[in-house]
A = this chain, B = another copy of it.
Amino acid sequence: MAVLASGNGTNLQALLDDPVVRPWIVLVLSDQPEAHALERARARDVEAVVLAPAFHPDRTAYDRALREQLEQRGIEYVLLAGFMRIVGPDVVRAYAGRILNVHPALLPSFPGTHAVADALAWGVKVTGVTVHLVDEELDHGPIVLQEAVAVRPDDDWDSLESRIHEVEHRLFPAAARALAEGRLKVEGRAVHILEGTDD
């Protein structure tokens, strides 16, 4: 498994702290040389690689380089843990049904990069977290897990995002476990999770 992350890497940390998922993770890759996620990887003896967009002429070239990084290490599964780039069609096709993303809203509500702010601006009383398989449309693939998070009357962006993160840190490792153990059964847009020995 490779984990792709651009920032602080709290979702990566939750994956590294999961005893079932941890042994699967052999690579952490970031587009940001300063991403704290890279240090989290090194601290757990996981290879940390920077793939900087500046060294690639366009998205297609970046996507091809990303695919090479993954394939030359025999990566089977890809986990997007706050990777702030759109993974291109070359990688999505090569890893169809094997890329997970975590999104801070109940998709199809609030796709895109400002999901928490958008939910607050809309005035919803319930938002949440979605873990989904990645397809070629943004924040669109078959849903593996969702969990609701209530918006409180006094919530601001910080307080709401913090409660959403807590749920992400539980849901994403659970979905990664199911993916690694071959327990995801996808039929069209329906994802069934077969029960695992540790559930």
Give the interface of A toward B (CB within 8 A).
106-110, 121-126, 128, 142-143, 145-148, 153, 188-192
Set of chain B residues within 8 Å of A190, measured between Cβ atoms: 123
A-B contact pairs, 19 of them (CB 8 A): A106-B106, A106-B109, A106-B124, A106-B126, A107-B109, A108-B110, A108-B122, A108-B124, A109-B109, A122-B189, A123-B143, A123-B189, A123-B190, A125-B143, A125-B145, A126-B146, A126-B147, A126-B148, A148-B148
Query: Do A123 and B153 have beta carbons less than 8 Å apart?
Result: no
- Complex interface: chain B residues within 8 A of A109 (CB): 106-109
Q: How far is the CB of A68 from chain B (nearest CB, A)?
A: 32
**Copies held by the complex:** 2
- B192–A153 touching, CB < 8 Å: yes
Check B146 against A189 for contact (C-beta < 8 Å): no
Closest residue of chain B to A118 (Cβ to Cβ) is B108
Residues of B within 8 A of A122 (CB): 108, 143, 189
Shortest CB distance A114–B (Å): 14
Closest residue on chain B to residue A121 by CB atoms: B189
A142 to chain B, nearest CB (A): 6
Kindly list chain B residues whose C-beta atoms are within 8 Å of the C-beta of A189. 121-123
CA–CA, A158 and B122, complex, Å: 30
When C-beta atoms are compared, the residue in chain B nearest to A192 turns out to be B153
A-B complex: 7 closest residue pairs judged by Cβ atoms: A148-B148, A123-B189, A125-B146, A126-B146, A109-B109, A123-B190, A126-B148
In the assembled complex, the Cα of A190 lies from the Cα of B128 at a distance in Å of 18
A125, A128, A189: residue with the most chain B Cβ atoms closer than 10 Å: A125
**Bound form: Cα–Cα A108–B123 in Å:** 10
